[in-house]
Structure 1
């Protein structure tokens, strides 16, 4: 199997365990990480020795969302390099490319189980959205603090379908975080585990799933995916990309990256905390 810069991999009992391995960056989703994740999924999509994929993360957080630093920015225009607004149409096309990334992972034919500890924020919710099941440690927290000033996730994490419209609006409008127990109650995660038992509980679920023949798993996954797709999921994701590009024209977005340019990322993040808590 290929060696990756930002991912660790391990195979056992027809389970491929993929570990996001940027603990020093709280596993922020960089351009490199997402490209490697997509390449890995393509590598094992039809591997008969892999029935289930588990995605976990090293360190204290699952992921804090998309990497905001220029060197790992996901799209072609880094806002801090512009005096004012980025080009709207180019931004829109870039974000549609990000949507295509999630569409391809959504279509991955094998079950994906996310194992979440600590923070799972903003863009991390998009990774969670393409997973089939989620096991969360008791310390897990979920939310989209970037909704205050940095944009919306094109997939809106599939929250309207997964947890309902009213709770989705509450979480987006307030940028509040919710814990693992509430996330399970809402249907965002399948199981909550004591932190010390998280690895074992996730493995037990993956082993149980792996008992089902892999061709049957592919059919079952396709059948359940189709319900969401028939409700217009892909069209909604594309619309989300366009609305995100419009968000990026806002004064708050421009002000954040102006501060990044003038004083650095830490100052911009500190100012966000002062403004929004």
Structure 2
């Protein structure tokens, strides 16, 4: 059987039991358009259904892991076969209906699928993981970060409550999650490790090797044991109201978009980009 071909990602098996998926839009700082997200979903499915794969690494081409969602260019969701019950033609409907369908499919829906993959996932992060980039890191089970890695969610500046995958209270704790959202300031790799969001911080030159070594160690365990351990941990999180929070946060996110359309005539508060640029220059 011919292996699938991809335009925005790479798929490889660098060691026994390990698959590595790499975001491959470095010229766009690995910003996520629809093509990349659907290819990433297909690659995750490929690894999940391959009995030879026990662990999945998610990486991004240099210089940055991912700058977030790519909101430029034409959008036509009918180009893709829906993965959830929200995609396809429903995402092309006018108004809030279409926008919610689109974001429920490619943002929240995909993240739910990836978080619940039946195999351990490891994010290999260098440079910046901003907004949608932070989402990709957050859905992974483990995180190995280079010393220069930064994690941020500046989207409150755009007049919404945060990104579509709202795991912040679990990832950072309530106080630090509020700081992340209220200020938009990034957490360094060292800070993120101290908060428990990052498992290991390593020199950038060693990032790929250290991540692969961790994956190889995990791959020595039986696949079913790994699956059960992951299910147990995710179910513990769900028992704390994790899925309820995701649904509520998405509703608030859509309210923010709707408010911005009424007040500003666009999905986001136009002052947001100005705020983010000004703060970036001040650093």
Alignment of 1:81-160 (within 5 A): 87-97=95-105, 98-149=107-158, 151=160, 152-156=162-166, 158-160=167-169
Distance 1:30-1:72 versus aligned 2 partners, 3 A rule? farther
Shift of 1:268: 8.6
d(CA) in 1 for partners of 2:262, 2:133: 20
Given candidates 4, 7, 17, the residue that maps to 1:5 is: 7
Residue 114 of structure 1 deviates from its aligned partner by 0.4
For the structure 1 residues 250 and 77, does the alpha-carbon distance in structure 2 shift closer, same or farther, using more than 3 Å as the test? farther
- Offset at 1:90? 3.3
Report which stretch shifted further, 231-240 or 130-139: 231-240
- Partners of 1:116 and 1:137 within 8 A in 2: yes
Write out aligned runs for 1:120-269 (5 A). 120-149=129-158, 151=160, 152-156=162-166, 158-251=167-260, 255=264, 257=266, 269=273
Residue 259 to residue 179, structure 1, CA distance change in 2 (3 Å):
closer
- State whether residues 24 and 60 of structure 2, in contact with CA within 8 Å, keep that contact through their aligned partners in structure 1: yes
CA RMSD of aligned residues (A): 2.8
Q: Does 1:67 align with 2:76?
A: no
Do the aligned partners of 1:133 and 1:190 also contact (CA within 8 Å) in 2?
yes
Q: For 2:45, which of 42, 45, 67 is the aligned residue?
A: 42
In 2, Cα distance between the equivalents of 1:276 and 1:26? 16
- 2-structure distance, mates of 1:253, 1:181: 41
Q: Offset at 1:215?
A: 1.3
Cα distance in structure 2, aligned partners of 1:182 and 1:229: 26
1:272–1:256 Cα change, 3 Å: farther
Q: Is the Cα–Cα contact under 8 Å of residues 260 and 267 in structure 2 kept in the other structure?
A: no
Describe the shift of the 1:243–1:214 C-alpha distance in structure 2 as closer, same or farther (beyond 3 A). same
Q: How many residues align?
A: 264
Q: Compare 201-210 and 40-49 and name the one that shifted more.
A: 40-49
Question: Residues 254 and 3 from structure 1, CA distance in 2 versus in 1: closer, same or farther, beyond 3 angstroms?
Answer: farther
Relative to structure 1, the CA distance from residue 164 to residue 256 in structure 2 (aligned partners, 3 Å threshold; closer, same or farther) is farther
Match of 1:82 in 2: none
**Structure 1 unaligned runs (5+)?**
79-85
Q: Is 1:51 aligned to residue 54 of structure 2?
A: yes
TM-score by length of 2: 0.84
Offset of residue 186 of structure 1: 0.7
Maintained 8 Å contact 1:149/1:256: no
Q: CA deviation at 1:231?
A: 1.6
The answer for the alignment partner of 2:84 in structure 1 is none
Please give the alpha-carbon distance, in whole angstroms, between the structure 2 residues aligned to 1:249 and 1:31: 22
Q: TM-score, normalised by structure 1?
A: 0.86
